[in-house]
Amino acid sequence: MKSCIQLLVLAVIFSSIISSKLKGPEEKLGEGKVCYQSTPNFGGQKGCTDGLECRFKTTPRKGMTGVPKYCLPKVSTSTPIPFAKAVIVEAKLKAGEVCYQSTPDFGGQKKACETGLVCNYKTPPRKGVSGKPMYCIAAPSFLENENENTDELLKENQVCYKSTPDFKNGAKKCAVNLECRYKSDPKGRTGVAKLCLPKSSFLETAISNFI
For residue 208, which of 188, 180, 173, 166 has the smallest C-alpha distance? Answer: 180
pLDDT tens, per residue, the chain with 211 residues: 556 666 666 666 666 566 555 555 678 888 989 999 888 788 888 889 988 999 888 877 777 777 889 999 987 665 555 554 555 567 888 899 998 888 877 777 888 898 888 888 887 777 767 778 889 988 655 554 444 444 478 888 888 888 777 776 778 888 888 888 888 877 777 778 888 988 876 545 555 555 5
For 193, the 3-state DSSP assignment is coil
What is the distance between the alpha carbons of residues 55 and 67, in angstroms, rounded to a whole number?
10
